[in-house]
Structure 1
Amino acid sequence: MNKHIVSAICGCLFFVSGFSQDKNIEQLLNEIEQNNTELKGYQSFIESQQLENRSNNNLPDPQLSGFYLPFGDNRTGDYTEYQLSQSFEFPTVYAARGKWNESKSQQLASAYANKRQEVLLKAKNTLLELAYLQKQKTVEAERKTQSKQVFDQIQKLFDTEQVGILDLNKAKIAWIQEQFAVEQIETEIQILLSKLKTLNGGNEISGISTGLALPIEVGAEESLWQEKLSNDPLLQELKAIETSSLQKVKLEKNKVLPNVALGYNYQGVSGSHYSGFYGGVSIPLWNSKNKVKAAEANYEYQQSNTQVISTSLYTQFQETYNRYELMLKKYNEYQTTMGNLESEDLLFKAYMLGEYSFMDYYVELQFYRNASDKMLQMEKELQLLQAQLLKHQL
């Protein structure tokens, strides 16, 4: 049995290139990306923000004002005046705000890419957990069958008074434990399937299998970090925020320039009238005070924040990579040691031939089962660490 466990594990390490005959993991993640309600909602939010940003760069509405003054001691007739005017900021402000809106659109796109990555990483980790549980279920089902065979044999020996009630009870408890282990795994599988259904927008996911084909290496530490710097959405979002804050400085500098108003004015009384063009400029004394300084201070903060977060991410990356390296080393040692063993099968045969008592057999069996379980657990942890290291590739 141990041979079957090891052979199943040896073909299953790292970046998933095929998750089943019908659907590989990339296809499953693509399906989740298309159906995920959180991502759909975030796309609508981004669209609303982009429209709102563009609307902030519109001209103010034209203004029509008028006067009709029939009252008072006037000998020349009623006085009438109306004026149609259009006010606007200095033309360079609109160009600067347009560039600022473009930078904010890039920031929103990076934020969506980061959200998308979080959702897909959660989905990938869930799929890896599910594959691990399905393999573990196969192992436990075989152990359950073997425990039942042992119990049946002990029952026959007990019936012929060759063993006592204590051995019978121990064999029965061992069988019950294996039954519980299978049932517990089945429950955990259903929980993970429910989580995947939620991630997939309430749709069932089919085509999931334990057939993973995963290469071992993830690349050298420094080259992997450089790749992450170029492609990681969180780092790109930080750069986009920094660019947006710089464009905000340029916008505030342009807004120091005066606003302009142009229009047409008509004034008339008793058949006589005057008409012509209207023009005006604002005097930028109060409205723009300290806004440029505030924008510059925010830009300096964003530069510092980008550096701090990048340094923190690199530290986390190093910790994850070091854990991965250590885990991979230990996994290879386990694989080398246990690769050609058939300890559980040999123990079972020896027990059936009467070479071991039940207690001796059970103690020896637990040792090898624990080692096999540890190896399977290490495989899962390696896959999860690798998924974290290659998160930027999602």
Structure 2
Amino acid sequence: MNKYIVFAICGCLFFVNSYSQTNNIEELLNEIEQNNTELKGYQAFIESQQLENKSTNNLPDPQLSGYYLPFGDNATGDYTEYQISQSFEFPSVYGARGKWNASKSEQLASAYSTKRQEVLLQAKGIALELVFLQKQKVIVTERRTQSKQVFDQIQELFDKEQVGILDLNKAKIAWIQEQFVVQQIESEIQIQLSKLKTLNGGNPIDGTSSQIVLPAEIGTIENLWQEKLTTDPRLQELKANEEASLQKIKLEKNKVLPNLALGYNYQGVSGSNYSGFYGGVSIPLWSSKNKVKAAEANYEYQQSNTEVITSSLYTQFQETYNQYELMFEKYNEYQTTMGNLDSEQLLFKAYQLGEYSFMDYYLELQFYRNASDKMLQMEKDLQLLQAQILKHQL
């Protein structure tokens, strides 16, 4: 019995079967990605923004104007004129604006990837919490059974008048406390399942197979950081912002070129008429003033912002990685020590031999149980830190 508890705590590097085997955590995250209401809404927002961006590169509407002048001297007859024309910016402007819109689409895609990563990281954290609650439930359920057995044994000794009522009451209280712990964990499991259901767009979670393996190595900090630089959505979003600001400079430079207009014109009076092509040029002397300088200043800001945020993210990443390495070392020490112990069984034998009063036995028992709980908590914290370090792989 007690060996089973030690095995459940120390076997943290092996598969742990949870409340169902229908899905593993990766499949659960894929399901949440498909069903999450926030992500669906963000996708609709991105689509609307992309369509709006494309509309900014449309040609202006054609213009049709006409004159009919029947009043006045009219010695030569009524005067009629009409004109149809199409104005447009210099052709290279549309190409530059198209590239700018493409870079803005990359911005939107990177922003979505960042939002997706946040949602999936939150879901993974809840799933990990749920897995370890299930592991804890196995342990405390076994402890509850053990406490009941101890209480029954002390009840038998009490009936034989070999122990007093105080020891009996303490054993009963210990048993009741273990029952309460099981109930608390079951309640917390339902809370975490409810959170996952919300992230899953209100769809119930059928279950997941924890099957978590805690690897001995997650890679060097240098290799992981290089991975993040090329795949992390937050960093990719910064690059997309830079690219968009660079394309904005090119666009503003092209908008300095003149706008053009082409069309057809007809003029007629008393059977005599003239018709032909219409052409016009609009020189943007004032509308483009300071636009290029503003775009260049924004590009410099984006470059500086990328550098500052990247440096800050690396510092945070380094802190998390170092914290993980330190905790993993301590965890291995705990595992080595706890794996060779059978303390609860030895304590119970000592209690039966009369070497401990029930209170002394219970206090010693709590010491070893607290150590076991500490190790389980360290395992969970390691998994959460690992999820944070490897979130760019989501």
- Category of TM-score, reference length = shorter chain: over 0.9
Moved more, 226-235 or 23-32: 23-32
SS in 2 for 1:87: strand
Structure 1 residues 57, 210: closer, same or farther in 2, change over 3 A? closer
For the 8 Å contact 1:140–1:178, the answer to whether it is kept is: yes
Instruction: Pick closer, same or farther for the CA change 1:270–1:17 going to 2, 3 Å.
Output: farther
The answer to whether the 8 Å contact 2:29/2:120 transfers is yes
1:10–1:358 CA distance, 2 compared to 1 (3 A): closer
Q: Which residue of 2 aligns with 1:57?
A: 57
Does the alignment pair 1:384 with 2:384? yes
Q: Note if 1:223 corresponds to 2:220.
A: no
Q: Mapping of 1:1-394 within 5 angstroms?
A: 1=1, 3-13=3-13, 21-352=21-352, 354-394=354-394
Counterparts of 1:312 and 1:181 in 2: how far apart (Å)? 41
The TM-score normalised by the length of structure 2 is 0.95
- Whether contact under 8 Å (1:11, 1:212) holds in the other structure is no
Q: In structure 2, what is the Cα distance between the partners aligned to 1:17 and 1:335?
A: 16
Residue 384 of structure 1 and its aligned partner are, at CA, apart by 0.3
User: Contact 1:18–1:213 at 8 Å: present in 2 too?
Assistant: no
Structure-2 separation of matches of 1:75 and 1:18: 102
Larger displacement relative to structure 2 (221-230 or 3-12): 3-12
SS in 2 for 1:261: strand
Matched residue type, 1:333: E
Shift of 1:283: 2.0
Unmatched runs of 5 consecutive residues or more in structure 1: none
Shift in Å, 1:355: 4.2
SS in structure 1 opposite 2:217?
A: coil
Contact 2:133 2:189 in 1 (8 A): yes
Percent identical: 82
Deviation track 1:76-127 (CA, whole Å, cap 9, x = no partner) reads: 2222111100000000000000111111111111111111111111111111
**Alpha-carbon distance in 1 for matches of 2:375, 2:247:** 54
Deviation at 1:168, TM superposition (A): 2.6
CA shift for structure 1 position 31: 1.3
* 1:339 Cα offset (Å): 0.8
Confirm or deny: 8 A CA contact 2:85 2:278 kept in the other structure.
yes
TM-score with structure 1 setting the length: 0.95
In structure 2, relative to structure 1, the CA distance for the partners of 1:44 and 1:360 (3 Å cut) is: same
Deviation larger for 321-330 or 29-38: 29-38
Q: CA deviation at 1:365?
A: 0.2
Task: Detail structure 1 runs of 4+ shifted over 6 Å in the superposition.
Answer: 16-20
Q: Are the structure 2 counterparts of residues 18 and 68 from structure 1 closer, same or farther at C-alpha, using a change threshold of 3 Å?
A: farther
- Over the residues paired in the alignment, what is the CA RMSD in angstroms? 1.9
Give secondary structure in 2 for the equivalent of 1:202: coil
Offset at residue 274 of structure 1 (A) = 1.3
Q: Which moved more, 1:264-273 or 1:205-214?
A: 205-214
CA distance in 2, matches of 1:40, 1:250: 34
Call closer, same or farther: CA 1:155–1:8 in 2, change over 3 Å: closer
Whether the 8 Å contact between 1:90 and 1:259 is mirrored in structure 2 is yes
Judged with a 3 Å threshold, the aligned counterparts in structure 2 of structure 1 residues 323 and 2 are, in CA distance, closer, same or farther, namely: farther
2:16, 2:211 within 8 Å by CA — same for their partners in 1?
no
- Matched letter for residue 278 of structure 1: Y
Which range moved further: 114-123 or 363-372? 114-123
SS of 2:65's partner is: strand
Shift of 1:18: 9.2
Q: 1:18 to 1:102 in 2, by over 3 A?
A: farther
Unaligned 5+ segments in structure 2 are none
How far apart in 1 are the matches of 2:176 and 2:5? 22
Q: Is the 8 A contact 1:249 1:292 kept in 2?
A: yes
Question: Contact 1:2 / 1:345 at 8 angstroms: preserved in 2?
Answer: yes
CA-to-partner distance for each residue in 1:189-236, whole Å, 9 max, x for gaps? Answer: 001000111111111122324442332210111111111111111101
3-state SS, counterpart of residue 289 of structure 1: coil
